[in-house]
Structures are given as C-alpha cells and as structure tokens.
Amino acid sequence: MPTKTVRELETIVAQFGAAASRKMGQWLQARDPEAFIGVEQAVHALGRQVADAITTLVLQHVLDDPGWVAACMAAATATGRFRANCRRETTVTFLGGNTHRVRTPYMVAVKRHGRKKPAPGLFPCLAALGIFERCSPALCSEVCRQDTESCSFRDALATLARRGIKLEYKRTLSLVRRFGEHAVAQRNAWAKLAQSAGHQHGPLAGRSVLVCVDGGRLREREAKPGRRTKRGHHRYHAPWREPRQLVISVLDDAGRPDPRFAPIYDGTLGDADELFLLLWAYLQALGGRKAQRIIFVADGAEWIWRRTWLLRIALGMPRKRFIDIVDWPHALGMLSTIAKHCTGWSERTQQRWVKRLHEPLYNGDVDTVVAEIEKLARGRRAKKVQAHLDYFRRNAERMQYRSFRARRLPIGSGAVESAIRRVINLRLKSPGKFWLHHSAEAVLHLRSYLKAGHWDQLAVRTLRGIVPWNDVSNEFLPNLRKAA
C-alpha cells in the first residue's frame, strides 16, 4: 500500500477516535432508553462518516491508477460517442449517506449532426465502477431496493432517512426511474437474443420444472387532451390494466419446490403474446428444452391455454413431457360460481351440491360434472349456467387430478398466486395509485426479482449494463442454484 494512502487512512481513524473521545463523556451519562437510543444513533452516524471517508480514499486511489484510467478512456473512445476532455472534480454520495468530492477524467459527447441539444458527457472511470447518478453502486442498489420494497416512494424516502441516507426527492426519483428503465431495456434486449439462441444446457436440464402464469390488476394513468385544471394539473383517466406474471421453479422428486433452487419471477404489462415470448426466452436460456418434464399449471383463462401448445412446439418438447394442468382450487371455485346462479337454493344446498361433485371432478370424470351442470341450465339461469359448461369441456384432459397426484405432480398454481399478491397487489394495486406505463413496467420487473431473491444479481447486471462499452447479454440470467 502506498505510504501516502496509509497516512491518510491513519488520519481518518484518528479523527474518528478524537470525535468519539469528545462525546464519550456525554454518552456515558445515558440512563434511559431515549438517551441510549441517541447514543447508538450518534455512534452509527460517526461510523458511517468514517466508512464513507475510507471508501472515498479507496476510490480516489483507484482513480489515480494511470493504467486502469487509460483502459477506461480507451473503451469509452472506442464507442465513438465520447472524446477525452480533462480531469474534473465531482461529488459522489456513498452508502452511509455522506457526499465527498473526487477528481477523475471527464469525457465530452461527440457532436452529432442534426442534434439540437448537446448530449451529456461521461466520467468513464466512475461509470466503470458502477457509480450512477453520482451515487455509489451500493447506495444505488440500496435506494432502488428500498423503493421497490416499500409501499410507496415517500415511505422509502422516510426509511432511508432514518438510516442516515437523505437524498433530494427529485434526485432519488430520477435515480430509481433511470435504474428501472435500464433494467427493463436490458431484459427486453436479452429476451430477443435468447429466443433465437440455441441454448441446450442450464439448471433446468434433467429437472422437473413447474411453470405458472396469471394476470393481476393495476390502474394505468392516461393523459386526457385539453386544458389543465385550475391548479395547473394535467387531466387524466385511469383504466384498469392486466399486468401478467410468470413463475418458473424446480421441483424435487416428491413434486414440491426444490429448496436448492431459487424461482424465477418476472412480468410485463404487454399482452399475452409478449408474456409467452418472455417465458420462452427464460426456458430457452435456462435449458428448458432438456428438462425432464415441464408442468404448466394455471387457471382456466383462454388466453393462457391458447398459447401453451405454441410454447411446447417452440421448445421442441414432445407432448408426454409437457403436461397441462388446470388449477384445482379454480376448478372448485367454478363449481361454486355455478351453484350461486341457483338463487332459489339455500346456501347449505349450494354447498352440498358442490361437495357432491368434488369426487367426480378429482377423479377426472368431467362427463359426470358436465351432466350435473346441464341439469341446472334451465329457466332464467340457463344462459348463465350454460356459459360455464365450455370451461369444463375444453379442459377435460387438464383435470385428471387423481392421475396427476399419483405421478407426484402439483395440481395448484399457488406459486403464481403468491407472486401476484407479493409483487403486484402489495405495491402496484394499492388504492389511489395510478401508474405511468413505463414506471409500472419497471417496478414490476424490479419487484419480481426482489421477491424471488435475485436482487443483488439484478443490481450488478444493471449497473454493468449502463456502461456504454459493456455487453451484459450473457450475464442477464440470475443464478438459480443456491449456495450450499
């Protein structure tokens, strides 16, 4: 270690010791919970200051490495978008919430013909280290994670402030928005490449794979043409939209989720075709072609089952290794819905009718179930009851529940139902929330990875991909296999 760096480190530690010594007499007087809370907070604030000062020292040492700096500038120049300019001082905010100044090379954007507004420049060395929006990579990851986790943006700011991270509202909003947009753009670019790539190996090869998809609900904000309100606000309406969620998990020999593998969660605000293209990309890249079998479990929505056979053909899987199953609780719920159309029945009679059909339905005797439903299709309720008959007729092969359980296959889509609740309902569907399309898409993607346990990999990949000369197409997929 250079002598200068050692001396600066010793100075930082000495300053911390002196500051602690000056306050130690006051701290030693703590005799109640309120006072001791203050002691803890003061000590941690000092610790954050020391940690950020040491991190700044390390950062400046890295920025003074001539060989590495030259490599970063050469990579930026090779993109054809930037040219060398000078060294500048700039500020960086670190994980402890403290801001320090560093000196580093700066490159200006090459002028493009026809561009009216000059493009922003680049600090290539800071970009190479993942320093984004003048925030350190750890701080950027923590701020974006907290916003994704919290019920609202303001709740995230309040939580961060209690931990000593106090960023301006607009700066934090810009950081989270740009981070999410980059993450979604990288996901979409990767998906297009993965659909055409011939991946044959991956963590899903030779495994039993459970795939579930479903749709949730949120309100999307759409601007109305015309004049603004008296207070100067834009007029808008907020129709309901259906975000679509996918879940991919690995099963053990008993048909339960294998704890050695973390699931894949992801979603999109696009249509059903976009969801299945995304699902195809994941299965293609993770070795789904070589899976022992793929068990596709979902409710009876037609938009799902009209596309599963196309997914199977795209993966090149034989029919016997691709198993379709209609979710058992949804099938029972459909019987309850039909029984409620019999308004002349008491609630107890309705329950007894549904219970009587449990066993035939579980045994896969759909003909018996359909015959019993047809008996109810009379009088005023005929049209309503008749509308549900097609649900059982078209899904008869997907309702062989006793046979499925004998083969140790799951018959419920609880995995995606849980994902819908944790990813969409608790963050995107809250009362009074109206989302712009790109914001909802970003939060859906980020929260999916967060709840599946892949946040750290997502953060590193996104920050690496923001660098103009980095290609992260081979780094997109998270590591499914957990560390032993």
Give the model's pLDDT for residue 113.
Answer: 64
Average pLDDT of span 239-265: 93
Q: What 3-state DSSP class applies to 300? A: coil
378 domain-assigned: yes
In this prediction, residue 198 has a pLDDT band, given cuts at 50, 70 and 90, of low
26 domain-assigned: no
57 domain-assigned: no
Q: Which helix (H) or strand (E) holds 236?
A: strand 236-237
What would you measure as the largest C-alpha separation in the chain, in angstroms?
94
Average pLDDT of span 192-203: 77
CA angle 291, 297, 301 (to 5 degrees): 135
Collect all residues with Cβ–Cβ distance below 8 Å to 480 and sequence separation of at least 6. 203, 250, 261, 262, 263, 264, 286
| Position 1 pLDDT exceeds 70 | no
| Position 199 pLDDT exceeds 70 | no
Strand partners, 88: 104
The CA distance from 384 to 373, in Å, is: 11
**Measuring CA to CA, which residue among 192, 213, 165 is closest to residue 326?**
213
- For the entire predicted model, the pTM comes to 0.92
22 domain-assigned: no
371 domain-assigned: yes
Give yes or no for a contact between 264 and 480, defined as CB atoms under 8 angstroms apart.
yes
pLDDT tens for each residue of 381-394: 888 888 888 899 99
Q: What 3-state DSSP class applies to 325? A: strand
Provide the pairing of β-strand 222-223 with 236-237: antiparallel
Residue with tokens 């561009």: 115
CB neighbourhood size of 309 (10 A): 12
**Measuring CA to CA, which residue among 46, 62, 56 is closest to residue 8?**
56
pLDDT tens for each residue of 207-219: 999 999 999 999 9
Q: Which of 14-18, 222-226, 290-294, 309-313 is predicted least confidently?
A: 222-226
Query: What is the secondary structure of 156-215 as a DSSP string?
Result: HHHHHHHTT----HHHHHHHHHHHHHHHHHHHHHHHHHHHHS----STTTTSEEEEEEEE
What percent of the chain is modeled with pLDDT above 90?
73
Give the model's pLDDT for residue 312.
Answer: 95
394 domain-assigned: yes
| 229 or 141, which is more confident | 141
| Position 329 pLDDT exceeds 70 | yes
**Measuring CA to CA, which residue among 324, 305, 316, 261 is closest to residue 283?**
316
DSSP state of 424: I
| Position 297 pLDDT exceeds 90 | yes
Domain of residue 374 covers 329-398
The CA distance from 243 to 132, in Å, is: 29
Give yes or no for a contact between 209 and 296, defined as CB atoms under 8 angstroms apart.
no
In this prediction, residue 44 has a pLDDT band, given cuts at 50, 70 and 90, of very high
Residue with tokens 């109305």: 224
Give the model's pLDDT for residue 384.
Answer: 86
The CA distance from 312 to 310, in Å, is: 5
| Structure token digits, residue 53 | 């000062």
User: 33-37, 189-193, 378-382: which has the highest mean pLDDT?
Assistant: 33-37
In this prediction, residue 470 has a pLDDT band, given cuts at 50, 70 and 90, of confident
Question: What is the dihedral angle through the alpha carbons of 311, 313, 316, 319, rounded to the nearest 10 degrees?
Answer: 100
Q: Which of 118-127, 158-167, 286-295, 329-338 is predicted least confidently?
A: 118-127
Query: What is the secondary structure of 243-289 as a DSSP string?
Result: -EEEEEEEE-TTSSB-TTB--EEEEESS-HHHHHHHHHHHHHHTTGG
| Position 263 pLDDT exceeds 60 | yes
pLDDT tens for each residue of 424-440: 999 999 888 889 999 99
Average pLDDT of span 455-477: 88
Number of domains in the chain: 1
344 domain-assigned: yes
| Position 202 pLDDT exceeds 90 | no
422 domain-assigned: no
Side-chain half-sphere exposure of 304, counting CA atoms within 13 A:
22
Q: Is the torsion defined by CA of 28, 34, 36, 40 positive or negative?
A: negative
Average pLDDT of span 239-252: 95
In this prediction, residue 484 has a pLDDT band, given cuts at 50, 70 and 90, of very low
Give the model's pLDDT for residue 72.
Answer: 94
| Position 117 pLDDT exceeds 80 | no
Give yes or no for a contact between 241 and 216, defined as CB atoms under 8 angstroms apart.
no
| Position 346 pLDDT exceeds 70 | yes
Long-range contacts of 358-367 (CB under 8 A, 24+ apart): 358/332, 361/331, 361/332, 361/335, 361/399, 361/401, 362/328, 362/401, 362/402, 363/401, 363/402, 364/396, 364/399, 364/400, 364/401, 364/402, 364/403, 366/392, 366/393, 366/395, 366/396, 366/399, 367/396
